[in-house]
C-alpha cells in the first residue's frame, strides 16, 4: 500500500485517496497493520469493483481501532463473491473537544512542560519555563498544547479554566483544562508542552533583557576581529547568571564542540536581534576553557586501564579453560600498537561461541551419520519463462505468470527485501582477484562487477513493479552481509560506485561474526597469522541469522512491513535478484522457507543435494534434546554432528523436514542412485533461498541455534620453530579447520509442508564462481561469463523471432530482467 491511515496523524481533518488495482485480500495489508489508536474515528469510503464488472457499489465503514475487511456480496443462490478495491477514501479526525488547525511551531513560545497528572479529576502539574508563571497558569484563557505525533509536532488549542501554585521540592502549577475532567483524559497530555502565541509576549522588556527563543540560532561574533565563531544553541540559568551554549563553527580534531559563554554585559556587550547576531569580547582563555583536551584525561586514562585489565583477566581465564594461552604471547612482545591490536581482536571474539563450536562441530575427517529415513523431494514445480511475451496480470492458468504478478504486487507494497551473502574473500579465484568476490568484474561488453550486475536486476524489478502499479515507488532493501575481512572494502566500493544507482538508504550493511581457525592436528590450537593476530574466518553463511538478530535488522524489516526476504550467494553471476516469481510462489504456498533447485548434471557434480528426512522415533528423541554446553576445562568430550531434536519453530515435533547433504557427506548409494536414466536425488541446492520475516524472528531463539561444521582448509600461519623463533608456515596440504554454520541447516526447524521448493533452469539462473580460471576447471569467472553471454544471445534471438516488443516498455524491461541485460 502506498500510504496508510497512520500517515493522517498530523492533520485535524484530511482526506486521502489510496488507489489500488490489485486482487482482493491483499490491498489493505498496510492499512490493517497501521496503528490508529490515536484516531477517534476513521471514515472510509471504499469503491468496489466486482469480478463480473456488472456494477460498482460503495460501502461506508466507521472504525477506530478495528480491522478493515474486504467487501462481499451474497447472491440469491448463496454464492459468495469478493470485490476488489479500486479506491479508498479516508477521512480522519480526532476528539472534537481539542480542535487543531494548521499552525507553524515558530509562531509559539514554550511556557511549561506537563510533568504529570494530579488527582482523579483531570488536573495537570506544569513545570514552568516562563518568567511570568502567575499570568500564564492562573489566568483563564486560550493556551496551546504541543505533542509529537509520528515524529512531527502537533499543536492543539485548549482552554485554561484555572490554576494555582504549589510549593514543594520544585515549584510547579496545577491547572485545569476545559473538557479534561478525568484521570484518563489528563493522561493524554503527560509529557506535552504548553505554549502561548509568540505575539502574546509582553512587548516591552527591561533594558538588557531578551527572550530566550530570540537568542537561539543567533551568530556569535568576536567584536574585535568580526570573526563568526559559532551559533547559540541553548541558554542555561546557572543561578548567578545566564550561560550561552555555543556550537563552534569549526570542528576541533574532527569533533563538533560546544562551549559555555557567560551572558553578562562585560563579555557580551552587543545583542543585535535585527541582525541575528551577538558580539562577544571574551577574556583570554575563555574560549579554550571548555574545549576538550587532546586525548583522554588522567581520570579517563586510569578508568580505561582498569577496564582493560579486567577484560584481559577475563580473557586469560577463558583461554586457560580452552587450553589456548599461546595466543597471549604477543601481549608481552613487540610494539605498543601491535599489542593493542591483539588486545582489540581478543576483545572482539566471542569465545563462548568458539567453545560451543569446538564442542558441537564434528571432526573434519569423520563420516557424518544420517539418522532418520531419507527420501528425494516429491515432485517439484518448475518456473517456466518460455512464453513470457504473453504474460499479463490476468494470466491465471499460467503458474509462472501468476507468481510473477503476485510477486510484483509484493514488491510494489514494500513487502520484500533481498540479502546478498558477501562475507567471503576471493582468494581462491587467483592472485589477481579483488579482495571481495562481489567486486569481481566480468568482461561483458560494458564490463561490470558482480555487485553492479545484481544491482541492475534489483533496479529492473523496482521499475517493473512501478510499471504495473504506477502509484508505487518501491525501494527494495538490499542487505549486504559482510565479514571482518570484507566489510571495509565492500562499504568503500559501494560508496565509490554511488550504490550503483540505488538509494543509499536502501542498502544496509550487516557484518557477521568471525571465529578463530584451529589446527586440526594439534589439539585444536588456535592458528596465528602473526604473534599479534589470530587467524579468523567468518562463521559461514549460516551466521546470517544471528547477525540479523544481533544488529536488529529482523525487527527493522518487520517494522517496515517486509514479509519475505530472498537470500543468495554473491558469486552466482546469473542469480535473479529480487525474483518476483520466487516471492509470488512462496506467498501462494504460504511458505516460511523457499528453496530454488536445479537438476544435477551427474552423480559426480560437487553440489549439495536437497532431500526429505522422515523423522523416526529415535530421531525425535535425539540425545541433543536440551543440550547443555559444558565447560571445556571440565570435559574434553565433543559431540559430532548436529542431529538435534526435530522440532519446528513453535516447539512442536515435526514428522519430516528438508535438509541438504553436502557432496562429500553423501553415501555413494544415495549419490549414484538412479531410476531409469535419471538420478533419484537430483535436486541441487544453489544457495538461493527465501525466508519469511516471521521465520527469521523465531530463529533468534537460542533453542533453535544452528550447529557448526568443520571445514578443512589450507591456512597460512606463523609458529615458533625449535629455536623459539617465529616462522611463517605455508602448508601444501590442509592444516586447519574453519568453524562454520550452513544456511540450509535452518530448514530443519520448518515442517516440510511449509517449505516451497522451486526448480529453475540451470542455464538461466546458476553460474557459480568458485575456482580460479584454468584448463578444464569448472565454476570459474570464465565459465560464468560464457553462460551470461549465452543467455544474452538467447535474448536477441527470441526478440528477433517474436518481434513483439515494439513500444511495449514493460515487455522490454521484462526481457532485460530475464536475460540479464
Instruction: Name which of 66-80, 158-172, 445-459 the model is least confident about.
Output: 66-80
Can you give the C-alpha Rg of the chain in angstroms? 33
The answer to whether 541 and 687 have CB atoms below 8 angstroms apart is yes
Instruction: Name which of 243-257, 584-598, 722-736 the model is least confident about.
Output: 243-257
- Mean model confidence pLDDT for the chain: 80
Mean pLDDT score, 704-716: 88
Of 151 and 286, the structure prediction assigns the larger pLDDT to: 286
Give the model confidence (pLDDT) of 717-758 as tens digits.
999 888 889 999 999 889 999 999 999 999 999 999 999 999
* Nine cell digits for residue 815: 526481457
pLDDT value of position 75:
44
Classify domain 373-616+654-762 at the CATH class level.
Answer: alpha beta
pLDDT value of position 100:
45
The string of DSSP letters for 125-189 reads: EEEE-SS-HHHHHHS-EEEEEEEEETTEEEEEEEEEEEEEEE-SSS-EEEEEETT--SHHHHHTT
The answer to whether 193 and 146 have CB atoms below 8 angstroms apart is yes
pLDDT value of position 647:
53
Q: With 0-12 CB in 10 A as exposed, 13-18 as middle and 19+ as buried, what is 471? A: middle
Other Cβ atoms closer than 10 A to 153: 14
The CA-atom distances, in angstroms, between 802 and each of 386, 446, 451 are 12, 26, 32
User: Exposure string (b/e) for 508-531, b if CB count within 10 Å is 16 or more?
Assistant: bbbbbbbbbbbbbeeebbbbbebb
Residue % of the chain over a pLDDT of 70? 77
The string of DSSP letters for 519-559 reads: ETTTTTEEPEEETTEE-EEE--GGGHHHHHHHTTHHHHHHH
pLDDT band at residue 203 under the 50/70/90 scheme? low
Other Cβ atoms closer than 10 A to 331: 18
Other Cβ atoms closer than 10 A to 621: 13
Residue 51, pLDDT > 70, answer no
Tell me if residue 211 falls in helix, strand or coil: coil
Strands (E), 630-763: 656-661, 674-675, 678-679, 683-692, 709-713, 717-720, 726-729, 736-740, 755-759
Of 709 and 32, the structure prediction assigns the larger pLDDT to: 709
Give the model confidence (pLDDT) of 640-665 as tens digits.
334 444 555 455 566 789 999 988 77
pLDDT value of position 109:
86
Residue 575, pLDDT > 90, answer yes
The string of DSSP letters for 401-460 reads: HHHHHHHHHHHHTT-EEEEEE-----GGG-TT--SSGGGPEE--TT-EEHHHHHHHHHHH
pLDDT value of position 240:
63
Dihedral angle sign, alpha carbons of residues 341, 343, 344, 348: positive
User: Exposure string (b/e) for 700-726, b if CB count within 10 Å is 16 or more?
Assistant: eeeebbbbbbbbbbebebbeeeeeeee
Mean pLDDT score, 536-540: 93
* Nine cell digits for residue 150: 509520528
pLDDT value of position 618:
47
pLDDT value of position 345:
93
Residue 1, pLDDT > 50, answer no
Give the model confidence (pLDDT) of 748-786 as tens digits.
999 999 999 999 999 999 999 999 999 989 999 999 999
The CA-atom distances, in angstroms, between 462 and each of 362, 473, 758, 760 are 44, 8, 23, 22
Rounded Cα distance between 652 and 647, Å, is 5
* Nine cell digits for residue 568: 543468495
Give the model confidence (pLDDT) of 123-161 as tens digits.
999 998 887 889 999 999 999 999 987 677 889 999 999
Residue 477, pLDDT > 90, answer yes
Mean pLDDT score, 444-470: 94
Q: With 0-12 CB in 10 A as exposed, 13-18 as middle and 19+ as buried, what is 205? A: exposed
Rounded Cα distance between 597 and 582, Å, is 12
* Nine cell digits for residue 311: 577484560
Other Cβ atoms closer than 10 A to 456: 19
Mean pLDDT score, 163-167: 90
Mean pLDDT score, 464-487: 93
315 backbone dihedrals φ, ψ, rounded to 5° = -65, -45
pLDDT band at residue 206 under the 50/70/90 scheme? low
Rounded Cα distance between 281 and 287, Å, is 10
* Nine cell digits for residue 485: 575481512
- Long-range CB contacts (within 8 A, 24+) of 525-529: 525/323, 525/324, 525/326, 526/324, 526/326, 526/327, 527/715, 527/717, 527/736, 528/326, 528/327, 528/330, 528/717, 528/718, 528/719, 529/716, 529/717, 529/718
Of 217 and 74, the structure prediction assigns the larger pLDDT to: 217
Residue 600, pLDDT > 50, answer yes
Mean pLDDT score, 104-111: 84
Q: What's the pTM?
A: 0.64
pLDDT value of position 241:
72
Residue 4, pLDDT > 90, answer no
* Three state DSSP letters for 215-242: HCCCEEEECCCCCEEEEEEEEEECCCCE
In DSSP terms, 183 is beta-bridged to none
Of 389 and 239, the structure prediction assigns the larger pLDDT to: 389
Terminal Cα distance for the chain, rounded? 30
* Nine cell digits for residue 555: 525487527
CATH of domain 104-197: 2.40.30.60
CATH of domain 209-290: 2.30.30.240
pLDDT value of position 361:
83
Our measurement of the distance from residue 543's CA atom to the centroid of its chain's CA atoms, rounded to an integer in Å, reads 15
Residue 622, pLDDT > 60, answer no
The CA-atom distances, in angstroms, between 746 and each of 384, 642, 699 are 28, 12, 8
Q: With 0-12 CB in 10 A as exposed, 13-18 as middle and 19+ as buried, what is 292? A: exposed
pLDDT value of position 235:
85
Instruction: Name which of 253-257, 373-377, 435-439, 798-802 the model is least confident about.
Output: 798-802
Give the model confidence (pLDDT) of 350-377 as tens digits.
998 999 999 888 876 665 556 668 899 9
pLDDT value of position 702:
76
Instruction: Name which of 60-64, 236-240, 412-416, 490-494 the model is least confident about.
Output: 60-64
pLDDT value of position 501:
95
pLDDT band at residue 803 under the 50/70/90 scheme? low
pLDDT value of position 208:
66
Amino acid at each position: 500500500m502506498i500510504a496508510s491511515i497512520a500517515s493522517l496523524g498530523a492533520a485535524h481533518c484530511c482526506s486521502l485517496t489510496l488507489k489500488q488495482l490489485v486482487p482482493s485480500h491483499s490491498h489493505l495489508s498496510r492499512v490493517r497493520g497501521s496503528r490508529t489508536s490515536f484516531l477517534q474515528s476513521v471514515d472510509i469510503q471504499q469503491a468496489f469493483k466486482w469480478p463480473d464488472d456488472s456494477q460498482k457499489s460503495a460501502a461506508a465503514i466507521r472504525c477506530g481501532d478495528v480491522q478493515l475487511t474486504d467487501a462481499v456480496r451474497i447472491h440469491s443462490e448463496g454464492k459468495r463473491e469478493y470485490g476488489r478495491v479500486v479506491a479508498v477514501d479516508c477521512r480522519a479526525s480526532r476528539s472534537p473537544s481539542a480542535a487543531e488547525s494548521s499552525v507553524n511551531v515558530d509562531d509559539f513560545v514554550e511556557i511549561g512542560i506537563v510533568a504529570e497528572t494530579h488527582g482523579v479529576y483531570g488536573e495537570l502539574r506544569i513545570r514552568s519555563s516562563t518568567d511570568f508563571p502567575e499570568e500564564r497558569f492562573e489566568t483563564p484563557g486560550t493556551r496551546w498544547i504541543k505533542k509529537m505525533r509520528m515524529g512531527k509536532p502537533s499543536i492543539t488549542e485548549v482552554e485554561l479554566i484555572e490554576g494555582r501554585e504549589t510549593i514543594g521540592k520544585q515549584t510547579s502549577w496545577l491547572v485545569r483544562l476545559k473538557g479534561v475532567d478525568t484521570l484518563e483524559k489528563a493522561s493524554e497530555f503527560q509529557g506535552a508542552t504548553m505554549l502561548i502565541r509568540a505575539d502574546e509576549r509582553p512587548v516591552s522588556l527591561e533594558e538588557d533583557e531578551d527572550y530566550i527563543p530570540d537568542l537561539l540560532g543567533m551568530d556569535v561574533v568576536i567584536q574585535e576581529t568580526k570573526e563568526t565563531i559559532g551559533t547559540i544553541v541553548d541558554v542555561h540559568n546557572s543561578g548567578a547568571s545566564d550561560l550561552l551554549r555555543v556550537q563552534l563553527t569549526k570542528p576541533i580534531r574532527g569533533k563538533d564542540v560546544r562551549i559555555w559563554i557567560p551572558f553578562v554585559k562585560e563579555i557580551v556587550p552587543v545583542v543585535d536581534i535585527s541582525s541575528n547576531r551577538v558580539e562577544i569580547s571574551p577574556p583570554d582563555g575563555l574560549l579554550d576553557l571548555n574545549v576538550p583536551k587532546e586525548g583522554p584525561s588522567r581520570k579517563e586514562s586510569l578508568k580505561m586501564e582498569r577496564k582493560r585489565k579486567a577484560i584481559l583477566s577475563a580473557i586469560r581465564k577463558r583461554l586457560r579453560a580452552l587450553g589456548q594461552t599461546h595466543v597471549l604471547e604477543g601481549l608481552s612482545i613487540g610494539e605498543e600498537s601491535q599489542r593493542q591490536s591483539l588486545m582489540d581482536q581478543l576483545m572482539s571474539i566471542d569465545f563462548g561461541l568458539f567453545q560451543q563450536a569446538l564442542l558441537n562441530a564434528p571432526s573434519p575427517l569423520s563420516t557424518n551419520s544420517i539418522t532418520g529415513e531419507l527420501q528425494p523431494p516429491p515432485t517439484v514445480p518448475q518456473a517456466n519463462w518460455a512464453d513470457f511475451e504473453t504474460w499479463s496480470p490476468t494470466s491465471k492458468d499460467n503458474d509462472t505468470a501468476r507468481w510473477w504478478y503476485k510477486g510484483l504486487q509484493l514488491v510494489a507494497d514494500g513487502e520484500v527485501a533481498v540479502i546478498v551473502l558477501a562475507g567471503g574473500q576471493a582468494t581462491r579465484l587467483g592472485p589477481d582477484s579483488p579482495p571481495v568476490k562481489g567486486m569481481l568484474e566480468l568482461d561483458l561488453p560494458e564490463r561490470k562487477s558482480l555487485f553492479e550486475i545484481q544491482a541492475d536486476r534489483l533496479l529492473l524489478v523496482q521499475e517493473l513493479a512501478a510499471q504495473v502499479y504506477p502509484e508505487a515507488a518501491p525501494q527494495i532493501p538490499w542487505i549486504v552481509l559482510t565479514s571482518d575481512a570484507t566489510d571495509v572494502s565492500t562499504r568503500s566500493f559501494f560508496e565509490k560506485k554511488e550504490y550503483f544507482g540505488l538509494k543509499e538508504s536502501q542498502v544496509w550493511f550487516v557484518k557477521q561474526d568471525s571465529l578463530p581457525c584451529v589446527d586440526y592436528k594439534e589439539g585444536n590450537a588456535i592458528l596465528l597469522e602473526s604473534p599479534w593476530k589470530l587467524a579468523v574466518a567468518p562463521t559461514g553463511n549460516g551466521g546470517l541469522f544471528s547477525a540479523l538478530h544481533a544488529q536488529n535488522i529482523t525487527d527493522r524489516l518487520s517494522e517496515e512491513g517486509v514479509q519475505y526476504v530472498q537470500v543468495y550467494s554473491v558469486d552466482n553471476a546469473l542469480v535473479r535478484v529480487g525474483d518476483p516469481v520466487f516471492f509470488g510462489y512462496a506467498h501462494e504456498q504460504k511458505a516460511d522457507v523457499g528453496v530454488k533447485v536445479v537438476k544435477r548434471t551427474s552423480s559426480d557434480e560437487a553440489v549439495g543435494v536437497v532431500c526429505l528426512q522422515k523423522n523416526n522415533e529415535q530421531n525425535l528423541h535425539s540425545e541433543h534434546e536440551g543440550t547443555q554446553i559444558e565447560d571445556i576445562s571440565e570435559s574434553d568430550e565433543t559431540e559430532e554432528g548436529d542431529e538435534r531434536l526435530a522440532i519446528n519453530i513453535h516447539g512442536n515435533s515435526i514428522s519430516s523436514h528438508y535438509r541438504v547433504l553436502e557432496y562429500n557427506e553423501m553415501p555413494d548409494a544415495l549419490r549414484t542412485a538412479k531410476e531409469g536414466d535419471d538420478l533419484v536425488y537430483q535436486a541441487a541446492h544453489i544457495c538461493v533461498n527465501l525466508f519469511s520475516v516471521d521465520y527469521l524472528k523465531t530463529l533468534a531463539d537460542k533453542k533453535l541455534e544452528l550447529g557448526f561444521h568443520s571445514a578443512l582448509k589450507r591456512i597460512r600461519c606463523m609458529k615458533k620453530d625449535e629455536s623459539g623463533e617465529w616462522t611463517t608456515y605455508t602448508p601444501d596440504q590442509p592444516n586447519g579447520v574453519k568453524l562454520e554454520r550452513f544456511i540450509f541447516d535452518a530448514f530443519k526447524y520448518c515442517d516440510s509442508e511449509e517449505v516451497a521448493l522451486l526448480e529453475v533452469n540451470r542455464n538461466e539462473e546458476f553460474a557459480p564462481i568458485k575456482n580460479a580460471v584454468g584448463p578444464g576447471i569448472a565454476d570459474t569467472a570464465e565459465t560464468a561469463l560464457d553462460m551470461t553471454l549465452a543467455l544474452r544471445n538467447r535474448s536477441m534471438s527470441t526478440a528477433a523471432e517474436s518481434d513483439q516488443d515494439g513500444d511495449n516498455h514493460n515487455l522490454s524491461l521484462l526481457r532485460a530482467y530475464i536475460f540479464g541485460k
